[in-house]
Amino acid sequence: MRFSVLSLIGHEPHPLTGELLPAADRFEEVIDTAAVAERLGFDAYSVGERHAGAFLSSSPNV
């Protein structure tokens, strides 16, 4: 059996503070999470794409 972690790379304001991290900081968090997943033995770290909303993995309609 294989296990993976999936992220849509959400980029929303913090629910309590309203603070929005810069995109570069959010991507750094994603890379750190992928490294932790690897250390924990997950087989893959996947990034899905979105076509709307507050996601850094958005793929706009063309």
Structure tokens at 14: 């913090």
Q: Express each pLDDT in 11-45 by its tens digit.
A: 888 889 999 989 899 889 999 999 999 999 999 99
Map out the domains of the chain as residue ranges.
4-47
Report the predicted TM-score, pTM, of the whole model to 2 decimal places: 0.74
In three-state form (DSSP H/G/I as H, E/B as E, the rest C), the secondary structure along the chain is: CCCEEEECCECCCCCCCCCCCCHHHHHHHHHHHHHHHHHCCCCEEEECCECCCCECCECCCC
Residue 16: per-residue pLDDT? 94
CA angle at 18 for the pair 30 and 21, rounded to the nearest 5° = 30
